[in-house]
């Protein structure tokens, strides 16, 4: 079987992942929209077998293919973390928040009284309205702290998926200036919204979403991809690597926060680094094998000379993860 050397994997996959599934995932890392026929040829199996394993992994086997789009292009440039302090069990509040449209990612923490939530909104007024109208009134919510996200820094293994060589993941600054954004129209936006939900959406389904013919839709899609307005990215569940423990570290920087963010983004366990407004300068998301591994990563971060006060939130459960403005 060709293409299964594992060189594209950020970490070794668990031994329970079969050779053919490893090969399928590796090809998705290289090309998230690889066709079944090309997949079968590359991994040395039949199209029927390739299709079966591909569909199994995408249907709940720990692999998601998404289209990465700057949220400013989708009229949702205001990005924020919410720290929700609860009176009731945090997982109950987290589940209620998961039903709201603006939430992109939600985790309940192991202290059982904190929920961390990432959201995207149209503007600051929409952000405040979301918090006041949909979060604070929830049963069990005691208080909410808003941290606006100012900038995101790519990591080598963002969402535990490795971009092909020579391609970086999408980067953005929150509330990007309109004159710096690429020009797209309403039809492009419909295609991007569909790809954001499913990076492997067929040209037929994209055509139905945007109202164009399939050839015209294909031309639009290729144009968007060539301009890096959308990048197709394969995200791998951390459990496939044996990474069962996740956490967010919030960091106060003692020197240049941009340099510190870039240093932290190079750590292999780090999957997100964002620059924040408020008490903490950075939010750093990590995935680890177990609590001992998390402790090692935490000690590595807090002993960096440019890192000051640090707050650790270990996840008890992640109840929503849409990868919409993952990288």
Look at residue 60 and tell me whether its pLDDT is greater than 70.
Answer: yes
DSSP states of 168-234:
PPP--BTT--GGGSPP--HHHHHHHHHHHH-TT--HHHHHHHHTS-HHHHHHHHHHHHHTTSEEEEE
According to the model, what pLDDT value does residue 10 have? 77
Residues in the chain: 327
DSSP states of 113-140:
SEEEEEEEESSHHHHHHHIIIIITTSTT
Look at residue 45 and tell me whether its pLDDT is greater than 80.
Answer: yes
According to the model, what pLDDT value does residue 11 have? 83
Q: Does domain 19-61 have CATH number 3.40.47.40?
A: no
Mean pLDDT of 59-63: 90
Mean pLDDT of 70-75: 86
User: What span, in angstroms and rounded, lies between the C-alpha atoms of 62 and 239?
Assistant: 8
According to the model, what pLDDT value does residue 7 have? 55
Mean pLDDT of 234-259: 94
Residue tagged 């040829």 (tokens): 41
Look at residue 176 and tell me whether its pLDDT is greater than 70.
Answer: no
Q: How confident is the model at residue 159 (pLDDT cuts 50, 70, 90)?
A: confident
According to the model, what pLDDT value does residue 181 have? 78
According to the model, what pLDDT value does residue 53 have? 97
**pLDDT tens digits along 259-306:** 999 999 999 899 889 999 999 999 999 999 999 999 999 999 999 999
Q: Does domain 74-158+238-321 have CATH number 3.30.70.920?
A: yes
How would you class 89 by CB atoms within 10 Å of its CB: exposed for 0-12, middle for 13-18, buried for 19 or more? middle
Q: What is the pTM of this model?
A: 0.86
According to the model, what pLDDT value does residue 172 have? 55
**pLDDT tens digits along 100-146:** 888 999 999 999 999 999 998 999 999 999 999 999 999 999 999 99
According to the model, what pLDDT value does residue 171 have? 53
Backbone φ/ψ region at 108: left (φ over 0), alpha (ψ -120 to 50), beta: beta
Task: State which of 147-156, 227-236, 294-303 shows the largest mean pLDDT.
Answer: 294-303
CA angle at 213 for the pair 208 and 216, rounded to the nearest 5° = 120
Mean pLDDT of 66-71: 88
Whether 19-61 shares its CATH topology with 74-158+238-321 is answered no
Please report, for the chain, the start and end positions of each structural domain, with discontinuous segments joined by +.
19-61, 74-158+238-321
């Amino acid at each position: 079987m060709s293409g299964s050397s594992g060189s594209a994997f950020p970490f070794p996959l668990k031994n329970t992942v079969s050779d053919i599934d490893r090969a399928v995932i590796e090809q998705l890392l290289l090309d998230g929209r690889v066709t079944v026929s090309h997949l079968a040829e590359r991994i040395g199996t039949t199209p029927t077998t390739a299709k079966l394993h591909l569909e199994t992994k995408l249907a709940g086997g720990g692999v998601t293919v998404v289209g990465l789009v700057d949220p400013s292009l989708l009229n949702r440039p205001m990005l924020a973390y919410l720290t929700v302090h609860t009176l009731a069990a945090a997982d109950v509040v987290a589940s209620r928040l998961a039903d709201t449209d603006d939430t992109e990612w939600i985790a309940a923490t192991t202290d059982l009284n904190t929920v961390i939530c990432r959201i995207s909104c149209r503007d600051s007024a929409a952000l405040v309205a979301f918090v006041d109208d949909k979060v604070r009134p929830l049963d069990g919510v005691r208080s909410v702290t808003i941290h606006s996200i100012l900038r995101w820094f790519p990591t080598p293994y963002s969402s535990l998926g490795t971009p092909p060589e020579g391609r970086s993941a999408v980067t953005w600054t929150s509330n990007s200036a309109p004159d710096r954004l690429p020009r797209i129209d309403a039809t492009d936006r419909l295609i991007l919204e569909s790809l954001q939900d499913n990076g492997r959406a067929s040209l037929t389904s994209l055509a139905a979403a945007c109202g164009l013919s399939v050839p015209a839709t294909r031309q639009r899609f290729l144009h968007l991809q060539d301009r890096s307005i959308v990048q197709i990215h394969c995200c791998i569940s951390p459990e496939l690597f044996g990474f069962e423990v996740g956490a967010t570290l919030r960091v106060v920087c003692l020197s240049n926060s941009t340099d510190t963010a870039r240093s932290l983004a190079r750590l292999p366990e780090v999957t997100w680094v964002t620059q924040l407004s408020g008490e903490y300068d950075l939010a750093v998301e990590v995935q680890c094998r177990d609590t001992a591994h998390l402790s090692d990563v935490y000690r590595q971060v807090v002993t960096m000379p440019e890192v000051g006060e640090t707050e650790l939130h270990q996840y008890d459960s992640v109840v929503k993860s849409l990868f919409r403005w993952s990288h």
